[in-house]
Amino acid sequence: MTWSAKLIKHNSESRIAVYFEKNQDLIARIKQIAGARWSQQKTVWHLPDTIENRERFKIEPLKNSLPSAEGIIQIEKFIQWLSSKRYSPSTIKTYSEALKSFLIFYREKPIAEINNEDVIIYNNEYILKNNLSASYQNQIINAIKLFFITVRETKIDIDKIHRPKRAKLLPNVLSKEEVKLILNAHSNIKHKMMLSLIYSCGLRRSELLNLKPADIDSKRGIVIIRQSKGKKDRIAPLSPKILEMLREYYTGYKPKTWLFEGQNENTKYDERSLSNVLKQALTKSRISKPVSLHWLRHSYATHLLESGTDLRYIQELLGHSSSKTTEIYTHVSTKSLQQIKSPFDDL
């Protein structure tokens, strides 16, 4: 069986891509490797860049792939500190991996001797040279700042650590007609229900998958979104149409632990499976845009704004801490723009 493997960057992360002609046995074996994922964009299976996986697929051994002994101890202490502060498991993993990358770069230097100039050098010699994103650089800065708060003896001046300038990107928004095509693409009530609930309540993917049957209050016509981003609870109104769909869904599936359960009882619906539900809907509705689940949330906010909903209410509905985050939707709303007459029409 012929295959090849090489290192790639995927979403600013080092991964091992495995190339081979389609073979179900090899696919099954790769699926069993922890962290294995299929990239639709790159059309390749890719795995975490670890020593074990490098040996498995004959990739050159990792050089200086670990921090110093001091660094390893400090990362463990940092993880304990984050846990005591009740950061979410995903944030702890992101920050500890980001710090690990930084401490590997300075594995020959005592942590107490690392200074602000070293952070600038790291940004230039590692982040920029490897074409890593500004968002990944921001994660590194967040991790460094939090880490050096916990270090007693340090030359770092936390307040003088600068961040990369953020790109001002507008949120991607679908028209109401496109949303309708996507939501009506599936005949399967469960698939239709999940996509419809994301759009009708402006939910994040994790918020949908963490819902429990008890979070639906049909008498009050609301859904309770518990401990979402920033560990905040919030409520969102349920439309009469959504409540009707939910009743039909309950009758057919009778969920117990989670509102949307996977193939095995009492397990959450899988994130990748939910993404595939959207991809299938896009194929069926013949929409070629690279739509993600978050586009539905953006579209919900923009359509609310265009229908006259006050920005303060939209902020509450989306669970934004800052009104500035919500204000970005004013830049993609076309309601006011459509009233502007182009001078071209007068020529």
| Domain assignment present for 97 | yes
**H-only helix segments in 106-133:** 116-122
Residue 231, both tokens: 């560990």
How far is the CA of 227 from the CAs of 73, 201, 215, 231, 260, in angstroms? 31, 16, 12, 4, 17
| Domain assignment present for 119 | yes
Residue 10: enclosing H or E segment and its boundaries? strand 3-10
| Domain assignment present for 343 | no
Q: What is the CATH number of the domain that holds 243?
A: 1.10.443.10
On whether both 150 and 296 belong to a single domain, the answer is no
| Domain assignment present for 62 | no
On whether both 152 and 188 belong to a single domain, the answer is no
| Domain assignment present for 346 | no
Residue 133, both tokens: 């994103």
Q: What is the CATH number of the domain that holds 130?
A: 1.10.150.130
Q: What is the pLDDT of residue 64?
A: 55
Q: Which of 117, 118, 100 lies closest to 109 in space, CA to CA?
A: 118
Residue 125, both tokens: 């010699």
pLDDT by 10s per residue, the chain, length 347: 567 788 887 777 778 888 887 777 778 788 888 888 888 877 888 988 876 677 677 765 555 568 889 999 999 999 999 999 988 888 898 899 889 989 988 988 999 999 999 999 998 888 887 777 788 888 889 899 999 988 878 888 888 888 777 667 778 899 999 999 999 999 999 999 999 999 999 999 999 999 999 999 999 999 999 987 767 889 999 999 999 999 999 999 999 999 999 888 789 999 889 999 999 999 999 998 889 999 999 999 999 988 888 889 999 999 888 888 888 888 777 766 666 677 767 77
Q: What is the pLDDT of residue 11?
A: 76
On whether both 205 and 313 belong to a single domain, the answer is yes
Structural domain boundaries, residue 25: 3-56
- Of 113, 129, 160, the last residue of a domain is 160
| Domain assignment present for 63 | no
**Angle, helix 311-318 to helix 293-306, in steps of 10 degrees:** 160
On whether both 215 and 77 belong to a single domain, the answer is no
Count of domains for the chain: 3
* Residues belonging to the active site: 204, 229, 294, 297, 320, 329
- Of 129, 160, 191, the last residue of a domain is 160
Q: What is the pLDDT of residue 79?
A: 94
Q: What is the pLDDT of residue 137?
A: 86
Q: What is the pLDDT of residue 51?
A: 63
- For residue 85, how many C-alpha atoms fall within 13 Å in the half-sphere facing its CB? 14
Residue 273, both tokens: 């499976």
On whether both 326 and 224 belong to a single domain, the answer is yes
List pLDDT tens digits, range 142-162: 899 999 988 878 888 888 888
On whether both 129 and 85 belong to a single domain, the answer is yes
- Taking the C-alpha atoms of residue 319 and residue 23, their distance in angstroms, rounded to an integer, is 45
CA quadruple 297, 298, 301, 305: dihedral, nearest 10: -160
On whether both 196 and 264 belong to a single domain, the answer is yes
List pLDDT tens digits, range 224-270: 999 877 678 899 999 999 999 999 999 999 999 999 998 887 899 99
On whether both 109 and 39 belong to a single domain, the answer is no
| Domain assignment present for 339 | no
How far is the CA of 308 from the CAs of 197, 242, 249, 320, in angstroms? 21, 21, 31, 19
SS3 97: helix
| Domain assignment present for 76 | yes
On whether both 253 and 217 belong to a single domain, the answer is yes
On whether both 190 and 313 belong to a single domain, the answer is yes
Q: What is the pLDDT of residue 60?
A: 56
- Of 160, 188, 204, the last residue of a domain is 160
Residues forming a β-bridge with 6: 17
On whether both 108 and 192 belong to a single domain, the answer is no
On whether both 190 and 316 belong to a single domain, the answer is yes
